Amino acid sequence: MKKFLGVTLTGLAAGAYGYHYFTFPQIKPDIKPEGSPKQMSTMMLEMGSKILQRNDPLSGHHMYLIGFHPMKETPCHQMEAHHFCKQVNEDFAECLIFDSSTSNANLTGIEYIISEKLFTQLPQEERGYWHPHNFEILSGQLVAPGLPKIAEKMLLKQKMNSYGKTFHTWRARCWEDEKPFLDTLPLGPAILAWSFNHDGEVKPEMVKSRDQNLDVDTEKNKQDRRDLAKYAHPQEGSDLDMRKHKSHQNAK
């Protein structure tokens, strides 16, 4: 059952996922975009579109993962990232990233995920856009809410040694310095995000908030996943230490 991103989870695990999806606590967005309330004509158009149009490109984004992203050039900007992913083939997945998990969540970015095999085929200049995933998994930071622990671990095992290319277009629920930093509109250019690869890089308040909201324990996850370390290969980009980045050091 060697499927990238756990695409062939057993029928039992998949059924359990469907059940737990509606039972785990949901995280609400911290911001509400600027703008006037919807008019009746807008709601009628939405209803008509729902009945008469299709949204096939959105189907299949069922795999739900929550992790944390620092921005590569400004790692004092860190955010909680709710991924809804679609497995395109054995080696490639795409994710829509939101700031929360409710129906009014804000779309804040996208991530493409590739296997180690595809990463090694990339030109050297392209590899600098792709962050490694092993520390996210082994540190306990990356979680798949609603999945039974055995299925979550199966999924994360298949995600070992993969890489992600992530751009955030909205700094919603972004952490700057010691306080949440919130934009009520997606301002400025898209920002290349990265992964945490060392202890002490992620804002502890952000992890604590996520863990409390979902009733998960990042430290316990870390202990439970120690046996996955034997599957880890050295990954490019893992030597980038956010604590030594000038924007992190100069944060006021």
| Bridge partners, residue 143, by sequence | 66
Is the pLDDT at 191 greater than 50? The verdict is yes
Write down how long the chain is.
Answer: 252
Q: How confident is the model at residue 66 (pLDDT cuts 50, 70, 90)?
A: very high
Tokens describing residue 55: 């949204």
Q: Which of 75, 102, 106 is nearest to 206 (CA)?
A: 75
Residue 162 identity: S
Beta strands 107-114 and 163-168 are antiparallel
Which range scores top for mean pLDDT: 40-54, 64-78, 114-128, 165-179?
114-128
Looking up tokens 């909680």 gives 80
| pLDDT for residue 53 | 65
Q: Which of 10, 12, 104, 21 is nearest to 63 (CA)?
A: 21
Largest CA distance in the chain: 57
Q: What is the mean pLDDT of the chain?
A: 84
Q: pLDDT (tens digit, 9 = 90+) per residue, 26-35?
A: 788 778 877 7
Report the percentage of the chain scoring pLDDT > 70: 81
| pLDDT for residue 54 | 66
Query: Phi and psi (nearest 5°) for 166?
Result: -125, 130
Q: pLDDT (tens digit, 9 = 90+) per residue, 39-58?
A: 887 677 667 666 766 667 77
Q: How confident is the model at residue 225 (pLDDT cuts 50, 70, 90)?
A: very high
